[in-house]
Structure 1
Amino acid sequence: MFKLRKEEKPLALVAFLVFALQNALTVYKYHDLFTRVGFRGYWVLFHEIFHVSGFDAYSCIYLSNGKIYYELSRHPLFGPLLAPFYWLNDAIIKQFDFNAAIYIMALLLTLSATLSAVLLFRILRSHIGLKLIDALALTALLFSFASIMLAVMLPDHFCCSLLLLVLTLYIANDHHLKGEALAWWQSALLLLFTAGITISNGAKTMLADLFCTGKAFFKPRRLLLACVLPLGILGAALYAQYTLQLLPREQESARIEAQVQKMNPNAIKKSTAHEARKERIIGKPMGNDPVLKWTDKDTPRLSCVVENVFGESIMLHREHLLEDLFISRPVVVHYEHWLFYAVEAFLVLLFVVGLVFGLRQKLLQICLAWLGVDFVLHIIMGFGLNEAYIMGTHWLFIIPLAMAFLFKKMPAKPALVLRFSIVALALLLYIYNLCLVFQFMSHPLTVG
């Protein structure tokens, strides 16, 4: 499955070079600080200094000292998957007094993004049957979206989510086209890794399995092996990490905070003010239990859909460029010209019409079910709605897949117009977003 086909090799090479150059921008900006050893502590270095949109550099903290600062319950396998690279970086730090965390993440992101591009192209070309130029154009379109561009070059978990979701979709649809059901071990492995990186993505894997397996999905033995077993492994991994790693780290942090409060009360006041701002922005949750505490019933839905979900996810706003919501960015930022909304409306129109045209296809039925998960999670429950633009890797790949069915249904001449429109749109979005990202990244960060 991972062997490159002849027509995929040029795509893979170009994609690898493009993503490597994007990651080089991140390394350029943060190299001098992030490669230091023993500078102010890794929490301050990678959390207090790194502020790009809403993305976090918790992976760099883990690669530097093996400590968990990300939300363990939402990413139960993120640490274990990074562990071999932590051991590598630990050896580099001890041998050369050089922290290579940002370089390791740049390599992992470049490889993950390249494989994601190849798999999406393969779905468009082999599963849907598009012409070569159309499959290339739609693949390029996805990686011109702002949220995808940032996920590919920032040391967070989102690019890994993109790879695993596209891989799941490819495997599920490939089995469907061959008239085969997913083997229980395939479903179990996909569930283990997709949910292990982002727990909500596990629901999408189970939905894909259900669509491809049908009634057999509910057979007790298969349900036990394909769903209960991997979820049990995740639960055990979560408990072990909490007991052995997270709890000791939290106790140590509490002790350090108490010492800092005695020595510098103003530092704690600043931290308290920051937390108060976060509470105001997050909005009132629907409940206080461990699940509902992450919900939000105050954030305006329509404005966030226009400006965040289909706005910032696809085209960056010039105002408050890549600012962090919990520091200085407002919940809703508006574009300065109506042309931005026209581009957004055009893209959404193509997306919706494509979904309608491909409604009978199993591939898009799975995608619609996945969109339902995101709709309930983000729009109805409000989880992460105020910064939904950083979560585009969970659903934006569905847009080019839906558009692919426009090509399948259109006569030759309208398809030619559509082809030129998508190529122009991909170029426009990529140049526009990259110019703003370059503007942000081209100035090296200096902290005294």
Structure 2
Amino acid sequence: MSFIKAKLIALLKQVFPASYTELAVFLLFLISYGTLGTYIALHYRIIFDIRIPWDAYFSFDNKAIVMTGGSFERHPLAYYFFNWIREFSLFISGGKMDVTFRLALAWLSNIAISLCVVQIFKYLRNITQLPLKFALLLVLFFGVFSTPIILSFTPENFTYTLLLLSIYNYYAAVKLKKNEKIPGSALVLAGISIGGITITNLAKVFIPVLFEKDLFRSWKKLGNAVFRVVLTTACFVFLYLLRIDFKYENIFSKTNQQYEKFSNVESIPDWDMMLSYFFGGSILFPSFMTTDKHNMKGFDFKGLLMEPYSSVFCYAFVIILLILILWSYLKNFRNRLVQIIAISFLIDIVIHCVMRFGLHTSYIYGGHFVFVYPVLLGWLFYAYRSKPGILSFLTVITGILFVFLLANNLFRMSDFFQFLENYYQ
């Protein structure tokens, strides 16, 4: 019992704030995001409207996700997770899908994203070992990304994926820094939770295993790693097949349909979609456009989508940020923790930029990778910790990017509220 108690306490300390500084960071974002989400939930119906299953804003599927967890071929086990989310919210609202129901959904999202910020702060302080002022700068920078802002009140798969990936990457970094292996139980839990919510993220769970100490120098360690990976995969596959009553042929047909649907859009050049949507839209809001939508059952409504960037300053912001990220990767190339983060990011780049899956709306996929930016920036600061001149330069550049990001995203959120005033009161 003492062993289980110790493990439980360690888990709680990792997931939740474990110091006054971490608590302060958590409360800062909880209050900020909470104020935003509470206002939207109380005054507008966009967070959850039983008549609108998908695409009310930025192609999120709020109602469909809350009710079903999403399509089984992409979100195989999300059905069970969102059953808990929905039932808890209904308990709070007394069984009604009303304003209280929306408020409960918004606050669950708020808590998830605020805890995600804490995970990034923990990583920067405990793994990268940045001084407090740099860690705070980077989490504030991350906190005003478009993805955390929107997900802080949006009940979606991406909201909880962002939290789980942040938790797992910090956990894996702690283990590897101590030259310990990822336990089989933790790997299975991560595989089922992270891969269960979005199947393509299952591969990310196995990346840290590849960097365990002396893995390829010992047949015993390699065999143990293979066993843990096979066990995780077997558990995941069994639960996946159980979810669809072992009708595995449906997986291939549905997956092919989804790929064809979301990969054959030629609206704007690929390079512009990559910069404006994948790399940029998940961080820096572009301008918005309204579209006419319907729910296939006779109800018409308005949707909101992002447009490509129209300002050279926005393109410059994204390019400068990407240069910093690439600089960090090259400077820390031999650091296995940096390689883990980079390979995780590469998976999303391949899926969306190379295979073009959902590239035209890739800003919604930010929950799968935006945590990479503050972490890699943190490693860049770490690499020049003994060079005050370069460190000052990086601080100034990041500060300028932060100010521009904050001003831009506040301005664009005013456009978002105007959309709510016009169509979702």
1:57: Cα distance to partner? 0.9
CA distance in 2, matches of 1:322, 1:355: 39
Shift of the 59–142 alpha-carbon distance from structure 1 to 2, 3 Å rule, reads farther
The question of whether the paired residues in 2 share the 8 Å contact of 1:192 and 1:234 is answered with: no
Q: Which moved more, 1:315-324 or 1:413-422?
A: 315-324
Shift of the 306–99 alpha-carbon distance from structure 1 to 2, 3 Å rule, reads closer
**Highest Rg: 1 or 2?**
1
The question of whether the paired residues in 2 share the 8 Å contact of 1:59 and 1:155 is answered with: no
Aligned residue runs from structure 1 range 27-38, under 5 A: 27-31=41-45
Aligned residue runs from structure 1 range 309-348, under 5 A: 309-320=278-289, 333-348=307-322
Q: Which moved more, 1:295-304 or 1:100-109?
A: 295-304
2:404 counterpart (428, 437, 441): 428
Shift of the 321–145 alpha-carbon distance from structure 1 to 2, 3 Å rule, reads farther
1:181: Cα distance to partner? 0.3
DSSP 3-state at the match of 1:320? strand
1:293 counterpart (248, 260, 268): 260
The question of whether the paired residues in 1 share the 8 Å contact of 2:145 and 2:284 is answered with: yes
1:86: Cα distance to partner? 2.9
Shift of the 329–26 alpha-carbon distance from structure 1 to 2, 3 Å rule, reads closer
Q: How many residues align?
A: 390
Instruction: Give the letter aligned to residue 263 of structure 2.
Output: D
1:387: Cα distance to partner? 0.4
The alignment status of 1:163 with 2:163, answered yes or no, reads: yes
Map of 1:384 onto structure 2: 358
CA distance in 1, matches of 2:32, 2:92: 27
The alignment status of 1:51 with 2:20, answered yes or no, reads: no
The question of whether the paired residues in 1 share the 8 Å contact of 2:272 and 2:308 is answered with: no
DSSP 3-state at the match of 1:239? coil
CA distance in 2, matches of 1:447, 1:328: 9
1:406 counterpart (380, 385, 390): 380
CA distance in 1, matches of 2:291, 2:380: 33
The question of whether the paired residues in 2 share the 8 Å contact of 1:106 and 1:153 is answered with: yes
Runs of 5+ consecutive residues of structure 1 not aligned to the other structure: 36-41, 63-67, 247-286
CA distance in 1, matches of 2:201, 2:40: 27
Q: What percentage of residue pairs aligned between the two structures are identical?
A: 21
1:322: Cα distance to partner? 9.6
1:99: Cα distance to partner? 5.9
DSSP 3-state at the match of 1:2? helix
2:340 counterpart (351, 355, 366): 366
1:71: Cα distance to partner? 1.3
RMSD over aligned Cα atoms: 3.3
CA distance in 2, matches of 1:129, 1:446: 47
The question of whether the paired residues in 1 share the 8 Å contact of 2:192 and 2:236 is answered with: yes
CA distance in 2, matches of 1:80, 1:290: 24
The alignment status of 1:7 with 2:21, answered yes or no, reads: yes
CA distance in 2, matches of 1:413, 1:298: 46
DSSP 3-state at the match of 2:199? coil
Q: Which moved more, 1:327-336 or 1:79-88?
A: 327-336
DSSP 3-state at the match of 1:306? helix
Map of 2:36 onto structure 1: 22
Runs of 5+ consecutive residues of structure 2 not aligned to the other structure: 1-10, 296-300
The alignment status of 1:222 with 2:228, answered yes or no, reads: yes
The question of whether the paired residues in 1 share the 8 Å contact of 2:282 and 2:363 is answered with: yes
DSSP 3-state at the match of 2:212? helix
CA offsets 1:264-318 (integer angstroms, 9 cap, x no match): xxxxxxxxxxxxxxxxxxxxxxx98457535625544212112211232222222
Map of 1:110 onto structure 2: 110
Map of 1:191 onto structure 2: 191
1:202: Cα distance to partner? 0.7
Q: Which moved more, 1:422-431 or 1:13-22?
A: 422-431
Moved over 4 A (4+): 31-35, 89-99, 217-220, 321-324, 326-332, 445-448
Shift of the 75–289 alpha-carbon distance from structure 1 to 2, 3 Å rule, reads closer
CA distance in 2, matches of 1:109, 1:240: 32
CA offsets 1:12-42 (integer angstroms, 9 cap, x no match): 110111111221243144249958xxxxxx2
Instruction: Give the letter aligned to residue 418 of structure 1.
Output: L
1:432: Cα distance to partner? 1.9
Map of 2:391 onto structure 1: 415
CA distance in 1, matches of 2:20, 2:362: 37
CA distance in 2, matches of 1:88, 1:227: 30
The question of whether the paired residues in 2 share the 8 Å contact of 1:217 and 1:223 is answered with: no
CA distance in 2, matches of 1:447, 1:331: 15
CA distance in 2, matches of 1:238, 1:87: 22
CA distance in 2, matches of 1:447, 1:114: 26
CA distance in 2, matches of 1:312, 1:363: 26
